[in-house]
Amino acid sequence: MLKIYNSLARQKQEFTPIEPGKVRMYVCGLTVYDYFHIGNARTLTVFDMVYRWLTTIGYDVSYVRNITDVDDKIIDRANKNGEPIDALTERMIAAMHEDTSRLGMKLPSHEPRATQHIDGMLSMIGQLVDKGMAYPADNGDVYYAVREFAGYGKLSGKSIDDLRAGERVAVNTAKRDPLDFVLWKAAKPHEPHWSSPWGNGRPGWHIECSAMCKAQHGDTLDIHGGGWDLQFPHHEGEIAQSEGASGKPFVNYWMHAAFLNMDNEKMSKSLGNVFTTREVLNKLDPVQGGETVRYFLLRGHYRSEINYTWDILQDARASLLSLYTALRDVPPEVPPEDFMIDWNEPHAARFREVMCDDFNTSMAFAVLHELRAEVNRTRSTQLSALLRALGSTIGLLTQEPGRFVQGGAASDDDAARIEALIQQRIEAKKTRNFAESDRIRDELKARGIVLEDGAGGTTWRRA
């Protein structure tokens, strides 16, 4: 039985989908004005893992991850760049797909864009206005009346009175209450806009996700996910809008991924410690880098904060490399696509148990390393195949082991030269020319090539 920590209930709960065997999952995606940062990468990778695991245990998953392609940041960046908004968003969406692919992410089932769902947003805003839960203001904006929704604050645990007491937002005289939030923004000169019953304008942030959720999944979802920082105000706003319009529960299970800190400090542009995922990937080995980052992002439980430093990332690489080395030294005889996991096998049963306990990847990784030790001890190709298969359920150990261990973007000619030097060294050792053997080893070492002599012969990898 799968258990999920429900942020709304503040406890783990057994997962029961609305429709047996099927899961409706929505995750807040990216605002595409720039390359996404490594903190975004954690959230995206976590829910890719969730998607994969739900599929592994037999669910038919409709996974929706939206794209916000109209927003103040997008407009400001396009103006700064001197390029059309569509050109910026298309370029950033293409870059997003490149970088998520490098991290081993599957495409979601659906990837709706905000600008494709304006009609749905206008329909929902109209419902809220008709119910007296939203109102057009004199400045042309339409606002949600927070006090008209009795459940406001139930996800974040914030009460309206406490929010008012700590209110620091500049007074907007168009609002009836400082806590009210915008559903529709009146058009400004030289900004994208759409026609509406309240005048030309564009949507507010929260209404986008409510409308896209409804379009893809109906009034009620099984799982809604995102980063921890989205609980308030974004997800709180989504609940108020969706439940206010439909009168039905919006989400049965809320999931939130914790922060990624940079060298023990929260990421902040003012501190200069925000790195894009692309920057991090480009500093790493081109073969090993994407999966190394994925391994690092999943090694801690998704509800626990993790810390990023270069040394921690290199430690993750070494840990992942040990798994691949076992697969290289004891190659599975069965192709990955033909191997069927026996979930009664002790390692597999333990892996499934911890993954079904709120997606506990931290304990799942421990199982993988226990299995690696058994592969190294027994030389069992069956256990080797199981190791690779279990890793693949969460998007790991999917590459050819020998190629991964060697790493690098070397050409076939370069690899052939390395193999030729290794063969020369073998011949030198046969003739007891140890000085030449050592010279070749040192030459390769200077080029960043580490030789490993074993019972099966000499293999190589990049330092």
Annotate 88-123 with DSSP letters as a single string. Answer: HHHHHHHHHHHHHHHTTPPPPSB--BGGG-HHHHHH
Tokens 């329909």 label which residue?
Answer: 123
C-alpha–C-alpha distance, residues 284 and 314, integer Å: 9
Dihedral angle over CA of 289, 290, 294, 296, nearest 10? 10
Q: Summarize the chain as % helix, strand, coil (round to 5).
A: 50, 20, 35
Look at residue 142 and give its three-state secondary structure.
strand
Look at residue 223 and give its three-state secondary structure.
strand
Tokens 């030729």 label which residue?
Answer: 420
Longest dimension (CA), the chain: 93
Q: CA nearest 199: which of 239, 139, 246, 245?
A: 139
**356 labelled as ligand-binding?**
no
**193 labelled as ligand-binding?**
no
**234 labelled as ligand-binding?**
yes
Q: CA nearest 69: which of 53, 52, 84, 56?
A: 84
Show binding-site residues.
Answer: 28, 209, 234, 238, 269
Show binding-site residues for ATP.
Answer: 269
Show binding-site residues for Zn(2+).
Answer: 28, 209, 234, 238
